Amino acid sequence: MNDHDKETNGASTRARMLELVHAAPTVQAIHVAARLGIADRLAGGPKHAEELAREVGAHGPSLRRLLRFLTDMDIFEEDASGRFALTPLADTLRSGPGSARGVALHVGEPWTWRKWGELHHTVMTGEPAFEKAHGMRFFDYLATNPAARATFDELMTELSVTQIPAILRAYDFSPFRRIVDVGGGRGGLLAAILAQNPSASGVVYDAPEVEKTAAAGGVGGRLEAASGDFFASVPPGADAYLLKWILHDWRDEDALRILANCRRAIGEAGTLLVVEMVVPEHGRHDSKAEDVFVMATLPGRERTEAEFRSLFRAAGFRLTRLVPTESPLTILEGEPER
Ligand code: SAH
């Protein structure tokens, strides 16, 4: 490599770094566009920023500058007359099934955004940045802020849109008569499982403040909602206990308390189904970004296969199978150790 090449590479590496460093305006600009529902407002055709600003009560010149910045990333495009239009990326911010709007809303909201300013605290102490920023634990915050609770549940529901079909394709739920989804949120995953398995019934179990909306839909009356604290108990009498994205929220001793309650409920037979990202020993994987997100928010972490295996064993389960899905999630199947 000659000196010139070195310099060019050095400059482009630095430019790449500056791009990474400047992520904040990008995330917040997408968030604001999502919050103002700009993509929905352009569904009928292009509009000037002034017109959009009038519709949403924004400051016209500033909205124009925001949208102009987003066109640089191919989110919206601007024609010669200064009208903004949808692009394929902008289209994902339209509301409705399969949308990315809920994720953009959640990630940039001031109350979730604030934790990132405290990431240094997490790295120095091991404590969640969220708790430093808000003076309370994440799920306590959600319990006392219904609007925050709603965007979080919406986020989980939206993220599930691609995960649910991947889980259903990867795993055969037909042997089960009754399934409890522990920390099942609004209940979308269990509703989808029951829809595919007409002889099964189930219970979506989560904190009282969670609206288990999928249960209201019924799945022919086979999906019930139950509220409670999984550290106290989980509903008894099922032959499968499903925990998706639960254990990664908690440190080992708390994860063990949840699993111990499942172990008591399962009795001598039954199946434990833990759905999580499994951190590979080497190589790139989505679990590593998810892990930093979790670390900033909650006392938990993403785990390796070996870590799951010892967690299962400590709770009285044997890890029988790891079933990969087309999504970054893996289904970890366990049975009671006899
Ligand atoms: N399984 C869902 C939601 C995962 S988020 C999905 O994958 O989309 C974690 C869930 O655990 C939240 O819905 C939260 O309300 C629930 N949760 C947290 N603490 C809980 C507790 N002590 N008892 C019951 N549910 C709890």
* Mean pLDDT, residues 296-310: 98
Asked whether the predicted pLDDT for residue 106 surpasses 50, the reply is yes
Lowest mean pLDDT across 3-7, 95-99, 115-119, 226-230: 3-7
Residue 67 pLDDT exceeds 70: yes
How far is residue 261 CA from its own chain's centroid? 24
SS3 track for 33-48 = HHHCCHHHHCCCCCEE
pTM attached to this predicted model: 0.92
Lowest mean pLDDT among 48-52, 85-89, 264-268: 264-268
Residue nearest to atom 4 of ligand 1 (CA): 245
Cα atoms in the Cβ-side hemisphere of radius 13 Å centred on 301:
13
Q: What's CA 264's distance to the chain center, in Å?
A: 28
Between the CA of 177 and the centroid of ligand 1 the distance, in Å, is 23
Q: How far is the CA of 308 from the centre of ligand 1 (A)?
A: 19
Distance 185 CA to ligand 1 centre (A): 6
Q: Tell whether ligand 1 has an atom less than 6 A from the beta carbon of residue 183.
A: yes
Question: In terms of pLDDT, which residue wins out, 161 or 90?
Answer: 90
Note the pLDDT tens digit of each residue in 115-161: 999 999 999 999 999 999 999 999 999 999 999 999 899 899 889 98
| Beta-sheet strands, E only, within the chain | 47-48, 77-78, 83-85, 178-182, 201-206, 223-227, 240-244, 271-277, 317-324, 329-336
Summarised one tens digit per residue, pLDDT across range 161-186 is 899 999 999 999 999 999 999 999 99
Q: Can you tell me the mean pLDDT for 260-284?
A: 95
What residues pair up with 274 in beta bridges, in sequence order?
A: 243, 332
248 assigned to active site: yes
156 Cβ below 6 A of ligand 1: yes
Q: Which of 4, 48, 106, 248 is catalytic?
A: 248
pLDDT at 13: 95
The string of DSSP letters for 155-193 reads HHHHHHHHHHHHHHHH---TT-SEEEEET-TTSHHHHHH
Q: What is the pLDDT, as a whole number, of residue 12?
A: 93
Least confident of 64-68, 108-112, 213-217, 330-334: 213-217
- What is the secondary structure of 189-203 as a DSSP string? HHHHHHHH-TT-EEE
Ligand 1 within 6 A of CB of 210 = yes
Contact 224, 202 (CB under 8 A): yes
What is the pLDDT, as a whole number, of residue 1? 47
Q: Which of the two residues, 98 and 309, has the higher pLDDT score?
A: 309
Q: Whose CA is nearest to atom 10 of ligand 1?
A: 183
Is a pLDDT exceeding 80 seen at residue 190? yes
pLDDT at 6: 56
Q: What is the token pair recorded at 331?
A: 């289904």
Quick one: tokens of 42?
């352009």
* Ligand 1 proximity of 233 Cβ (cutoff 6 Å): no
229 Cβ closer than 6 Å to some ligand 1 atom: yes
DSSP state of 249: G
- Predicted confidence (pLDDT) at residue 62 exceeds the cutoff of 70: yes
Q: Which residues contact 200 (CB under 8 A, 6 or more apart)?
A: 173, 174, 176, 177, 178, 179, 193, 194, 222
